[in-house]
Amino acid sequence: MNDMKKYVLDLRVNSVTRLHERYVLIKVTRDERLPMMMPGQFVEIRIDGEPGTFLRRPISINYVDRENNELWLLVAVVGNGTRHLSKLHVGDGLNVIAPLGHGFSLPHGEWLSEVLLVGGGVGVAPLLYQGAMLRENGIKPVFLLGAKTASDLLMLDEFRKYGEVLVTTEDGSAGEHGFVTQHTVLEKRRFGLIQTCGPTPMMKAVAKYAYSQDIECEASLENMMACGLGACLCCVERTVKGNLCVCKSGPVFNIKRLTWQL
């Protein structure tokens, strides 16, 4: 797979919406057309004016709104860098390197079986864009989104635009009670492809299910990164072909390439 051309972009914040105490949705744009970006790819954001940080922050592409020339970034506030991002204002500048990495594979209309997109926590972010692109390709995906509790479920109305949305919560406050891998849809329906992004234990459980059912499965990893370009070799994941950079060879990997115990 050829790498897409990467750019350093000076973008402008169009809106910052707090979806939850820990999550913000930031929409950014520029006057020129944004470059092509694919679902599952990510951007590296420079954090300006925050002495507690030094490196850029890798953030997945939540959605690209081509009509409004907007890039959407769903950010979980976990540390100084992401807290700084959550305090951006409309009109602020944002320097990003994009697009980075290799995203989810995109089957087309002739694909006969169903596609299941499984997300947890902020890991639901890239599944929105992936769902939208699948829909554009003539495939209506099923989203299976997990959270601790109902208020942690993010952007459900957006997901519903592109496919059926199923939910699990650990406390049973919305959807089915339990983890995503316990949802009854997995018993009732047969999927041909599962794509997942979320906490590693969740993705491993999903991968285990997919492997046991002989279903193609891709997982999006989020190892700690520095450069985002495959140069520093910090974010490596052990694969069947040795240590590979998540930023460059991933972040999306077919689970058969990983060395997870399945």
Partner 1 sequence: MAKLDVTIGNLKLKNPVMTASGTFGYGLEFQDFVPLDGLGAIVVKGTTLSQREGNDYPRMAETPMGMLNCVGLQNRGVDYFCREIYPELLPTGGTFIVNVSGSSPQDYAECAARVDALEHIPAIELNISCPNVKDGGMAFGVTTKGAASVVRAVRERYHKTLIVKLSPNVTNISEIARAVEAEGADSVSLINTLMGMAVDIERRRRVLSIGTGGLSGPAVKPVALRMVYQVAKAVKIPVIGLGGIMTAEDAVEFLMCGATAIEIGTANFIDPKVTIKVRDGLNKWLDSHGYQSVQEIIGAIE
* Contacts to partner 1 by CB under 8 A: 5-8, 46, 51-56, 97, 223-238, 242-243, 248
Nearer CB in complex with partner 1: 227/252:
227
Q: Least distance to partner 1 from the beta carbon of 228, Å?
A: 8
Rank residues 59 and 116 by Cβ distance to partner 1 and give the closer one.
Answer: 59
What the block records as the tokens of 217 is 């499965």
> CA 213 to CA 100: how far, in whole Å?
31
* Distance in Å, CB of 138 to partner 1, minimum: 32
Q: How far is the CB of 51 from partner 1 (least distance, A)?
A: 8
Residue ranges with strand state E in 31-126: 42-45, 57-60, 63-65, 70-76, 93-100, 114-120
Q: How far apart are CA 207 and CA 193, in angstroms?
A: 11
Distances (CA, A) of 108 to 2, 13, 133, 217, 220: 19, 33, 10, 16, 20
Minimum CB separation of residue 212 from partner 1 in Å reads 26
Nearer to partner 1, 114 or 222 (CB): 222
188/205 Cα distance (integer angstroms): 18
- Please, what is the minimum distance in Å from the beta carbon of residue 23 to partner 1? 21
Rank residues 97 and 147 by Cβ distance to partner 1 and give the closer one: 97
Q: Between 56 and 183, whose beta carbon lies closer to partner 1? A: 56
